[in-house]
């Protein structure tokens, strides 16, 4: 038998959220007319009904009072006693008999009472009108209404009924708050997931989605758990690959050492031929390559060093001295601008190696001048190394930091190497959770920028 699938939880949240929001708004707006109608047709209070009944009974007993101004005298007497009350006698055609001045409120109430078909009362802004009390005098039907001209508190919903624009604005605001709450509930874990993905893309392989997001019972929580599993697998594979490269490089050192030893013994025995010299040269190159690979593996794994809080100028002092000497030997000028008070937590050896690689490249390809400048802004440290050399083709700027990549453009391959120097530099900067990029300078030259967190 085919199993019935459970409904999508995230779908249910979205459905219930928007449904609840729209339902509350519709119910709130739709309920106001019903509340008004209920208030408009409130039952006639017994004491007011008794008052109208007494006046009607008096008119039935003495029909001559209808045209004698009795109602007006009775109203004046009530006013003198501090109990103002207006009475309205209405005939069968709906005409008010005892006054020619009929207020708008009374006309509205006559229509309400006619639709209600029973005695009711209604509170207007500054008066309470009630009635009718129906009776007959000499078989002629009459209706008696009353009005209390005093300010009485009105129900709260009348404020919203009379201020429709304000009510609409409050409805929009309420719906915005409810939808905003739903969007926050769904958007916050997604933002956490995005930030973790960005950190993983920057090379921070130990980044994981927080426990609040993974603890959710909906699809977002499942996605977060799946993402963490994927991140763990990627970290394990990358670290395994890096360790494998380091292990292989290390193991290659043993047969290479034997080869170099054999060559040294052959030279000692006088077997110095052109072939042996070539083998010796290639062995040296292979030894340097293995050294570069081991350095790249060490900087990438970065498992044995701890960060130290140290001045940048102090940390790079030896590298800068060597760079100045090398530039002087090539009749080039190097300008270094590093404030003495500039400090940051860093790995001294990897950072020194990264700056050394960049400076040596800049000195090699510069026409006459190299500049290294470091400055702090906000919570970042920016290091810029510029030269006035030929630069690099724009299409190759994003790939020069890849291992074994050497551009074939302005900076040709005549210098040798294996394209690992800039890869080691990028690995060192990534270990500091920083960024590195290159750009050409007009009219010619190259600028390499490093951004590190302070």
pLDDT digits (tens, 9 = 90+) for 43-72: 777 888 888 888 888 888 888 887 777 888
- Residue with tokens 């890849």, as numbered in its chain: 402
Domains of the chain: 41-160 (3.30.450.210), 308-453 (3.30.565.10)
Q: Long-range CB contacts (< 8 A, 24+ apart) of 186-193?
A: 186/10, 186/13, 186/14, 186/220, 189/213, 189/216, 189/220, 189/221, 189/224, 190/220, 192/224, 193/220, 193/223, 193/224, 193/227
Please choose, from the candidates 142, 398, 430, the residue with its C-alpha nearest in 3D space to the C-alpha of residue 300: 430
Least confident among 16-30, 149-163, 376-390: 149-163
Whole-number Å distance between alpha carbons of 451 and 421: 18
Preceding amide of 398 cis, omega within 30? no
| Contact partners, residue 431, CB within 8 Å, separation at least 6 | 299, 300, 302, 347, 350
Instruction: Give the number of other Cβ atoms within 10 Å of residue 420's Cβ.
Output: 22
- Over residues 218-236, mean pLDDT: 83
Preceding amide of 132 cis, omega within 30? yes
Top-confidence range, 127-136, 175-184, 204-213: 127-136
- pLDDT category, 385, cuts 50, 70, 90? very high
Q: Name the pTM for this structure.
A: 0.48
For the chain, the maximum distance between any two Cα atoms, rounded to a whole number of angstroms, is 157
pLDDT at 303 over 50: no
DSSP 1: -
| Contact partners, residue 312, CB within 8 Å, separation at least 6 | 338, 342, 343, 344, 346, 374, 381
Q: Long-range CB contacts (< 8 A, 24+ apart) of 314-320?
A: 315/346, 315/348, 315/351, 315/352, 316/351, 316/352, 316/355, 318/352, 319/352, 319/355, 319/356, 319/359, 320/359, 320/372
State how far the alpha carbon of 389 is from the alpha carbons of 37, 108, 405, in Å: 87, 92, 20
pLDDT at 6 over 80: no
Instruction: Give the number of other Cβ atoms within 10 Å of residue 260's Cβ.
Output: 16
The tokens for 84 are 């103002």
Reported residue count of the chain is 454
- pLDDT category, 386, cuts 50, 70, 90? very high
The pLDDT tens digits for 328-339 are 988 899 998 988
- Return the pLDDT at 414: 46
Whole-number Å distance between alpha carbons of 338 and 36: 77
Top-confidence range, 152-156, 240-244, 424-428: 424-428
DSSP 94: S
The pLDDT tens digits for 360-370 are 888 988 889 99
- Over residues 240-247, mean pLDDT: 67
pLDDT at 436 over 60: yes
State how far the alpha carbon of 67 is from the alpha carbons of 97, 366, 382, in Å: 9, 119, 102
Exposure string for 82-114, b = 16+ CB within 10 A, e = fewer: eeebbbbbbeeeeebebeeeebebbeebbebbe
Whole-number Å distance between alpha carbons of 24 and 79: 48
- Residue with tokens 């010796």, as numbered in its chain: 280
Q: Looking at the annotation, which residues are catalytic? A: 250
- pLDDT category, 249, cuts 50, 70, 90? low
DSSP 241: H
What average pLDDT is seen over the chain? 77
Strand 308-311 with 446-453, pairing: unpaired
Instruction: Please compute, for residue 410, the number of CA atoms within 13 A of its CA located in the half-sphere on the CB side.
Output: 20
Share of the chain above pLDDT 70, in %: 75
- Return the pLDDT at 372: 92
- Over residues 413-425, mean pLDDT: 63
pLDDT at 103 over 70: yes
| Contact partners, residue 419, CB within 8 Å, separation at least 6 | 402, 403, 404, 405, 406
């Amino acid at each position: 038998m085919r199993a019935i699938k459970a409904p999508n939880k995230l779908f249910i949240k979205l459905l219930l959220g928007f449904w609840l929001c729209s339902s509350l708004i519709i119910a709130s707006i739709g309920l106001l007319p019903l509340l008004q109608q209920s208030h408009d047709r409130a039952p006639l209070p017994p004491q007011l009904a008794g008052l109208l009944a007494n006046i009607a009974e008096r008119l039935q007993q003495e029909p001559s009072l209808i045209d004698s101004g009795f109602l007006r005298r009775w109203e004046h007497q009530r006013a003198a006693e501090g109990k103002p009350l207006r009475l309205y006698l209405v005939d069968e055609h709906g005409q008010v008999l005892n006054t020619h001045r009929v207020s708008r409120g009374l006309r509205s109430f006559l229509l309400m009472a006619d639709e209600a078909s029973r005695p009711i009362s209604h509170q207007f802004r500054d008066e309470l009108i009630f009635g009718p009390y129906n009776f007959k005098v000499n078989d002629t039907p009459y209706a008696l209404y009353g009005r209390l001209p005093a300010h009485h508190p009105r129900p709260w919903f009348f404020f919203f009924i009379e201020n429709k624009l304000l009510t609409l604005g409050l409805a929009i605001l309420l719906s915005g708050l409810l939808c905003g709450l739903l969007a926050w509930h769904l958007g916050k874990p997604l933002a956490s997931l995005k930030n973790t993905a960005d950190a993983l893309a920057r090379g921070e392989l130990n980044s994981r989605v927080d426990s609040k997001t993974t603890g959710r019972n909906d699809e977002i929580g499942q996605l977060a758990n799946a993402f963490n599993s994927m991140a763990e697998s990627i970290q394990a594979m990358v670290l395994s690959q890096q360790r494998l490269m380091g292990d292989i490089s290390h193991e290659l050192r043993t047969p290479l050492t034997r080869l170099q030893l054999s060559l040294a013994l052959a030279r000692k025995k006088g077997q110095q031929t052109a072939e042996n010299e070539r083998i010796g040269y290639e062995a040296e190159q292979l030894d340097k390559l293995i050294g570069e690979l081991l350095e790249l593996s060490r900087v990438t794994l970065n498992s044995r060093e701890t960060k130290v809080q140290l001045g940048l100028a102090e940390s790079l002092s030896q590298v800068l001295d060597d760079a100045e000497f090398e530039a002087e030997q090539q009749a080039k000028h190097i300008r270094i601008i590093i404030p003495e008070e500039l400090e940051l937590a860093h790995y001294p050896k990897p950072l020194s190696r990264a700056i050394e690689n960049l400076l040596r490249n800049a000195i090699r390809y510069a026409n006459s001048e190299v500049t290294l400048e470091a400055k702090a802004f906000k919570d970042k440290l920016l290091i810029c190394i510029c030269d006035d050399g030929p630069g690099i083709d724009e299409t190759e700027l994003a790939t020069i930091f890849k291992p074994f990549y050497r551009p074939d453009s302005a900076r040709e391959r005549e210098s040798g190497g294996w394209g690992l120097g800039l890869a080691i530099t990028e690995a060192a900067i990534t270990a500091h959770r920083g960024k590195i990029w290159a750009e050409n300078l007009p009219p010619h030259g190259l600028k390499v920028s490093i951004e590190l967190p302070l």
